[in-house]
A and B are shown apart, each in its own frame.
Chain A
């Protein structure tokens, strides 16, 4: 059975801190790893990673994939209270010639305090 495991499950930091969120996976026919941010509504897309070692960056957020270690990290520098959210990692894997599975980890709940 495919698995996506995120750590830590929850995290509390002060504004200005840097955080690193982890995602590891065990899937067959891996195609991509995706990060989403979820506040009190639908998950919004952050990054999609398909190649090892290539960092994706958007403002204070960055992410990188390590296919050898079957893992990815999401970094947030100079955190702000608006970064408080659940961060979800998902792995897309080919399950048939016509379809991808999209399996999520349980998420990391981040709280940034003033």
Chain B
């Protein structure tokens, strides 16, 4: 049973380009959380999704950021027109259905560098 898979592991984008980060949850997990981590800081919540549904996006910047978790395929975090301040590590975590109160498992993260 593969763990949470994120790709790419490292992504370099020029200012103004788009960044697409992918997260495939663990098998059987239907909940995905995205977090951003700046150097020397903790994990800042961005968005929480179930399949085809955004549960909580209170941590997402209003502009340029969007997320989806389609019925088939990975969850995507999209950042349009990236700026230097978007450089960070982006982690996703997955957990099973709400009926099971278990831990969330993390992917290895995508390190985005905007140049």
Q: Which residues of chain B come closer than 8 Å to A90, judged between CB atoms?
A: 104
State whether B103 touches A99 (Cβ < 8 A). no
Is A96's beta carbon under 8 Å from chain B? Answer: yes
Is B43's beta carbon under 8 Å from chain A? Answer: yes
Is B1's beta carbon under 8 Å from chain A? Answer: no
Interface of B is mostly: strand
State whether A104 touches B42 (Cβ < 8 A). yes
User: Which chain B residue shows the least CB distance to A44?
Assistant: B106
Knowing A34-B104, A45-B103, A48-B103 touch, does A104 contact B50 (C-beta < 8 A)? no
| Total interface residues in chain A, CB < 8 Å | 31
Query: Chain B nearest CB: distance from A16 CB in Å?
Result: 27
Closest 10 CB pairs of A and B: A106-B42, A42-B106, A99-B55, A107-B42, A104-B43, A45-B103, A42-B108, A43-B106, A48-B103, A98-B98
